[in-house]
Amino acid sequence: MKNFTYYRPTTVEQAVALLDNKWGPVELLAGGTDLHDLQKEYIAQPDKVVSLNGIRGLSGIKASGSAITIGANTKLADIAENSAVRKHLPGLAEAASQVGGPQIRNMGTLGGNLCQRNRCWYFRDEHVPCLLRGGEKCLAINGENRYHACFTDSYACVMVHPSTLAPVLIALAAKATVQGPKGKREIELSRFFQAPAKADEREHVLAANEIVLSVSIPIGSKNASYEVRHKQSYDWPLVQAAAAFDLKGGKASNVRIVLGHVAPVPLLAGDAAKALEGQPVNEETAAEAGKAAIKGAKPLSQTGYKLQLVQVAVKRAILTAAGAKKYWQV
Amino acid sequence: MATTWPKQRRLIGTDIPRIDGADKATGHAKYSYDINRPGMLHAQILRSPHAHAKIKKLDYSKAAKMPGVKAVHVIADVGTELFYAGDEIFALAADTEEHCLDALRAVEIEFEVLPFLVKEEDVYKKDLMTAPPRGKDRKNLLPGSEQTKGDVEQGFQQADAVVEAFYGVNVCTHQCLESHGLVAEWSDNDGRLTVWASTQAVYRTAQALAKEFGIPQENVTCITHHMGGGYGSKFGPDIQGIVCAHLAKKAKRPVKLMLNRADEVTCGGNRPSAFGKVKIGGKKDGTITAYTVDCYGTPGIGASRSVNLAYLPYVYEVENYSRKQDILRLNAGSARAMRAPGHPQNCFLTDSAVDDLAAKLGIDPTIIRRKNLPKSEGQGIDWDAVKNKIYNDEIDIALKLSDWKKKWHPPGKDNGKGVMKYGIGMALHTWGGGAQGNPPNECTVFIHRDGSVTARSSTQDLGTGQRTVTAIVVAEILGLEPREINVKIGESEYGYSTGSGGSTTCPSQAPAALKAATAARDALFAKIAPKLGVKKEDLEIQKGFIVAKNGKKTPWKKACSLIGMDTIKGEGGWSSVLALEEPGLSNRQVGGVQVAEVEVDTETGVVYCKHIVAVQDCGMIVNKLCCESQVAGGVIMGVNYALFEERIMDRQTGRQVNPDMEFYKLGGIQDIPRITVHMYDMPERGVIGIGEPPTISTAAAIGNAIFNAIGVRVPIAPFTPERVLAALAKKGGN
Ligand SMILES: Cc1cc2nc3c(=O)[nH]c(=O)nc-3n(C[C@H](O)[C@H](O)[C@H](O)COP(=O)(O)OP(=O)(O)OC[C@H]3O[C@@H](n4cnc5c(N)ncnc54)[C@H](O)[C@@H]3O)c2cc1C
């Protein structure tokens, strides 16, 4: 691990002032479950590491009548176990409770989860020239890509965005509050992520000197997350779907469906949402939405199987959100 | 008088918790990785990033001046050809692991990058001659020659049904939780070397290091008190151990070199792949009339076969067969022995085909299994005489424990409503597991005048419970409790022992302990009989007492106090040769039957393994509890082999993309099924080892259960959702 200087500021302003205006020389540290890994693998080589853990008020969960606000430094385990989150945002509680294992959830934070780097095996191997580390092309496109994207159009890098909280938060129309040198601003989570294409881009749109303070999530919708996992312990999903909608008179409205682990960004599945909009929720309509969700997919050599999984995940997320019988459980 | 196992056994064959269990659970037990010596340095190895390359330039002057660096060691100099991504080049030792890793990255190195092959199927397209030379030959493809028996054509003509299919298992790696490596320390005054090694062969490791440094063997001590898994991949100091000792010598400081996870996975050994075309024919009554297999597998840069060709078809007796395997040498880490080398592959290539044949014949596959079991020959306790009975009995037990009659259904039929399909499948295995050693494995038992007892052997406990086995045997003979025996193992100074390979440790060590304890007991009797005023022949041991024929009982401690100033010593040895001369103490060859139950989500292709029934014989059971956990451990490894583990090589970079525990998948708690173990006890056979057999048939049984659930074969393991979905799609939806 390259040597670095460690800072532990006590205010957001101090922290922002320590940051650089380009990516690389300075990294923020929350739980460290991703950053320290990257440092040990010589992928991240910051000169300065700025801890958020000395700043008061960055963690905690507050519920109001219309929204739940979660501090960026809140641990994933706390999100998974919070009673308001479980009651109003079962999709988020489910996603948080499925992350990694207990150690990861007890250290990992919401801010770190949203800002974590991707898990592509080429990106994380210091010995190969990954596009995101200055290489000429994305090695996954013609390489080993079974866990990569199946929506690939226009993406120079075909990793999948790792966060399983992000699809749910986008489906729930959450907003992040961030702070930079010019003060605070709000970003809708649906605009928070981007597909990086070169070394000085991240998986999100923040500037290198901005800090996520909190995420605010409207409540009131039916919501759920469904992950298709190869292993049931300690694994990433192969495909994830998050669904949120209002259910009035048995019909779904304001439908939002977001796919995870299918593209370099969490993917809003507009066609799927449209298919369900105004429909009663049942196995048939949920399956129709699933079918619509794969429109526009362009799988890689080894990700064709994900198209089937997307359809199933969407169907099951919708049925779970509506509280329907889980037909897949015996 | 020949030694025998006691007729009445108080401890042997019962459930005895490991005597070191609490130490392990509390962290008291120190593994090699835990050893930290005063002033110790940390070392790591710089490896080839390329799958095939020549070193053009190697300049470590900057690295040697990096903070904390104390010693450097060149493994492969300029001009050396490197044959896989992971091949060792250079090592250094520094005061901290971080300094060491930073310094390695300061080495200036240039390569001439050469062509390479890292995927099996590519070898058949074009042999690039990129394998390490054997003589002058650099061929990647070593074609196998066909072995035949009987008349295969005629066999297929006699068949009522014939199945032809392609099956395969991918390369998987040992993934020892404690990686390979050791701590080396030289004493400056007398040139003695002590290593704390993670090894399955304590004695042999000391031997190899003595040879490397040209010093007398008694000047090298290898210590392995606790060991975090080897599975066949840790039989000597290895290159990293030798390099570590060199660095320690140069730095005049103790050095620790344990492989990091990526190196462990890419360089620490692997179980080779096996893919092949199988053709099997059979009659309605279940008789297999012919079997042919034409397969290939890769040992990486090694050159060994990946199946055990002499055992193909596996377990079953088939009149007509032919078999052949090509060896595909790739620019990837070398295969090493891995828990029953060749057998899981053999089992997969045979037992999968058996179930496909049964489906075509429209019969329960158990009929084929029973019909073609090896027939017993002769009488007595040896394998040939008992094999048919063992398999038949074990099949009966497995059918009962799994409720097979109720649960089995024709493949893909009556398999449950909805998308989740239930299936059940079986597979059979066999393994040797006899005593080893020439000279014999040694054990020494000391009885001290305070009543304490020490049992000593250089053997190692890989986690199999050997320490407890020795304690049980000695305690049985001396009328004590296992915990009262001070077992000292895992130091090369404690006499000669063989490495723990081939499931040979228990059958080699238990009789040696028996002989040593018996000799110690007899020496004790001889010593104290006059003081008790009786003849030594008139003494015997009862729990906690020494009892004379006249009825006089002397408590153990009191009796030992009569030893005087001496210490009583008994020695015992056991070997493959002695095992033949004195039958009944140990034996060789076991069977084993496993049944798997699965649920398959036919929409996602995810397989949930719900239950494994494992019926296993091992001759005389020494510790039932440990045997059962050994079987459970084997099953867990088999479940992983079936569902998760796969080394993934990249054709572009020549590197393994998943040298980790993230995408090299290993099941966690929720992925492990309920495991029902039944130990089939045959004390009359003597002790047989079962370190390896319980892992052999699990994957094939799971494959058959999946076939039973969904009615279509998933031919390649691991059975990932992707492969299950592909098979379902081929079948034409569900
Ligand atoms: C084995 C394993 C399994 C996992 N499985 C999953 C999974 O299934 N689903 C999933 O979503 N995740 C998974 N993760 C990832 C895990 O969720 C993240 O590692 C964790 O959430 C990161 O949080 P952290 O606080 O430790 O972040 P850190 O490692 O401290 O930081 C991560 C990144 O975020 C930046 N950062 C942190 N906080 C802020 C902030 N407030 N503002 C701006 N930038 C910030 C840091 O600078 C750094 O670049 C897994 C991780 C592991 C190791």
CB atoms within 10 A of CB A274: 13
CATH number, domain of B239, equals: 3.90.1170.50
| Beta pairing class for B53-59 and B108-113 | antiparallel
Do B557 and B618 belong to one domain? Answer: no
Describe the strand order of the beta sheet including B485-488 as a list of residue ranges. B485-488, B453-456, B441-447, B568-574
Residues B612-621: tens digit of each pLDDT = 999 999 999 9
Of B422, B604, B665, the CB nearest to A312: B604
> What count of residues does chain B have?
734
Average pLDDT over residues B127-140: 95
Average pLDDT over residues B460-469: 96
* Residue at B727 is within a domain: yes
Q: CA B388, CA B732: separation in Å to the nearest integer?
A: 41
Q: Domain ends where: B581, B598, B620?
A: B581
Q: Of the candidates A213, A233, A243, A236, which has an alpha carbon nearest to the alpha carbon of residue A306?
A: A236
How many domains is chain B built from? 3
Residue B275: φ, ψ to 5°: -130, 140
CB atoms within 10 A of CB A37: 15
Average pLDDT over residues B673-698: 97
Do B688 and B564 belong to one domain? Answer: no
Closest residue CA from atom 51 of ligand 1: A100
Q: Tokens 């899981």 appear where?
A: B344
Closest residue CA from atom 25 of ligand 1: A31
Q: Is B604's CB within 8 Å of A308's CB?
A: yes
B606 vs A contacts (CB less than 8 Å): 228-230
Nearest-Cα distance to chain B for A314, in Å, is 12
- ipTM at complex level: 0.97
- From the CA of A99, how far away is ligand 1's center (Å)? 10
The answer for residues whose C-beta is within 8 angstroms of residue B507's C-beta and 6 or more apart is B433, B434, B435, B574, B579, B586, B587, B588, B619, B686, B687, B688, B689
* Residue at B718 is within a domain: yes
Per-residue pLDDT band for B734 (boundaries 50, 70, 90) equals: very low
Q: CA B585, CA B3: separation in Å to the nearest integer?
A: 8
For residue B469, what are the domain limits? Answer: 21-29+435-581
A228 vs B contacts (CB less than 8 Å): 604, 606, 721
Q: Is A121's CB within 8 Å of B663's CB?
A: yes
Residue A327: φ, ψ to 5°: -65, -20
A312 vs B contacts (CB less than 8 Å): 603-604
* Residue at B94 is within a domain: yes
For helices B624-643 and B698-710, angle between their N-to-C axes, nearest 10 degrees: 50
Of A139, A142, A233, the CB nearest to B670: A233
Are B372 and B318 spatial neighbours (Cβ–Cβ below 8 Å)?
yes
Do B470 and B423 belong to one domain? Answer: no
Are B667 and B720 spatial neighbours (Cβ–Cβ below 8 Å)?
no
- Give, as one character, the DSSP assignment of residue B32: G
Q: Domain ends where: B535, B550, B581?
A: B581
Q: Is A121's CB within 8 Å of B658's CB?
A: yes
Q: Of the candidates B597, B605, B585, which has an alpha carbon nearest to the alpha carbon of residue B506?
A: B585
Which residue of A40, A59, A105, A113 sits with most ligand 1 atoms within 8 Å of its CB, as the best mutation to test the pocket?
Answer: A113
Do B554 and B447 belong to one domain? Answer: yes
Q: CA A145, CA A132: separation in Å to the nearest integer?
A: 16
Q: Is the pLDDT of residue B2 over 90?
A: no
In ligand 1, the atom with minimum distance to the C-alpha of A163 is 11
B650 vs A contacts (CB less than 8 Å): 139, 143-144
CB atoms within 10 A of CB A180: 17
DSSP B74-94: ESS-TT-EE-STT-EEEEEEE
Nearest-Cα distance to chain A for B200, in Å, is 30
CATH number, domain of B569, equals: 3.30.365.10
Q: CA B391, CA B490: separation in Å to the nearest integer?
A: 36
Interface check A127 vs B, CB under 8 A: yes
Nearest-Cα distance to chain A for B614, in Å, is 23
Nearest-Cα distance to chain B for A116, in Å, is 16
- Give, as one character, the DSSP assignment of residue A237: E
Q: CA B547, CA B555: separation in Å to the nearest integer?
A: 9
- A242 - beta bridge partners? A225, A258
Do B353 and B391 belong to one domain? Answer: yes
* Residue at B634 is within a domain: yes
Q: Is B420's CB within 8 Å of A128's CB?
A: no
A328 vs B contacts (CB less than 8 Å): 418-420, 601, 603
Interface check A325 vs B, CB under 8 A: no
Q: Domain ends where: B550, B581, B612?
A: B581
Q: Which residue type sits at B717?
A: A
Q: Is A144's CB within 8 Å of B648's CB?
A: yes
- Give, as one character, the DSSP assignment of residue B592: -
- Cα B618–chain centre separation: 16
Inter-chain CB pairs, A–B, below 8 Å: 95
Do B223 and B87 belong to one domain? Answer: yes
- From the CA of A238, how far away is ligand 1's center (Å)? 18
Do B428 and B439 belong to one domain? Answer: no
Interface check A17 vs B, CB under 8 A: no
A119 CB burial (10 A radius; 0-12, 13-18, 19+): middle
B640 vs A contacts (CB less than 8 Å): none
Do B591 and B574 belong to one domain? Answer: no
> Sign of the CA dihedral B100, B105, B110, B115?
positive
Tell me if residue A215 falls in helix, strand or coil. Answer: strand
Q: Of the candidates A97, A104, A100, which has an alpha carbon nearest to the alpha carbon of residue A80?
A: A97
Do B525 and B594 belong to one domain? Answer: no
Q: CA A50, CA A115: separation in Å to the nearest integer?
A: 15
Task: Please give the share of chain B, as a percent, with pLDDT higher than 90.
Answer: 98
> Sign of the CA dihedral B361, B366, B369, B371?
negative
- Selected for mutation to probe chain A from B104, B653, B657, B658 (highest A CB count within 10 Å) is B657
CB atoms within 10 A of CB A33: 20
Q: Tokens 């398959």 appear where?
A: B600
Do B646 and B718 belong to one domain? Answer: yes
DSSP B694-715: GGTSHHHHHHHHHHHHHSS---
Q: CA B181, CA B557: separation in Å to the nearest integer?
A: 43
The whole model's pTM is what?
0.98
B605 vs A contacts (CB less than 8 Å): 305, 308
Nearest-Cα distance to chain B for A282, in Å, is 16
Residues B370-424: tens digit of each pLDDT = 999 999 999 999 999 999 999 999 999 999 999 999 999 999 998 888 999 999 9
* Residue at B339 is within a domain: no
Can you give the pLDDT at residue B1? 59
Supply B101's token pair.
């890793």
Q: Of the candidates B337, B497, B507, B380, which has an alpha carbon nearest to the alpha carbon of residue B434?
A: B507
In ligand 1, the atom with minimum distance to the C-alpha of A109 is 25
Q: Of the candidates A270, A273, A223, A221, which has an alpha carbon nearest to the alpha carbon of residue A248?
A: A221
Residues of B with CB under 8 A from a CB of A: 49, 85, 98, 101-102, 105, 416, 418-420, 422, 599, 601, 603-606, 608, 643-644, 648-653, 655, 657-658, 662-663, 665, 667-671, 720-722, 725-726
* Residue at B322 is within a domain: no
Closest residue CA from atom 36 of ligand 1: A112
Q: Is B665's CB within 8 Å of A235's CB?
A: yes
* Residue at B130 is within a domain: no
Do B499 and B573 belong to one domain? Answer: yes
Do B449 and B532 belong to one domain? Answer: yes
Can you give the pLDDT at residue A330? 76
A234 vs B contacts (CB less than 8 Å): 668
- Selected for mutation to probe chain B from A33, A159, A234, A316 (highest B CB count within 10 Å) is A234
Which residue of B660, B662, B664, B666 sits with most ligand 1 atoms within 8 Å of its CB, as the best mutation to test the pocket?
Answer: B662
Task: Give pLDDT < 50 ranges for chain A.
Answer: none
Residues B176-225: tens digit of each pLDDT = 999 999 999 999 778 999 999 999 999 999 999 999 999 999 999 999 99
Q: CA B551, CA B693: separation in Å to the nearest integer?
A: 47
DSSP A280-302: B-SHHHHHHHHHHHTTT----TT
* Residue at B124 is within a domain: no
Q: Is the pLDDT of residue B438 over 90?
A: no
Are B218 and B147 spatial neighbours (Cβ–Cβ below 8 Å)?
no
Residues A30-87: tens digit of each pLDDT = 999 999 999 999 999 999 999 999 999 999 999 999 999 999 999 999 999 999 999 9
- B611 - beta bridge partners? B597, B674
Q: What is the mean pLDDT of chain B?
A: 97
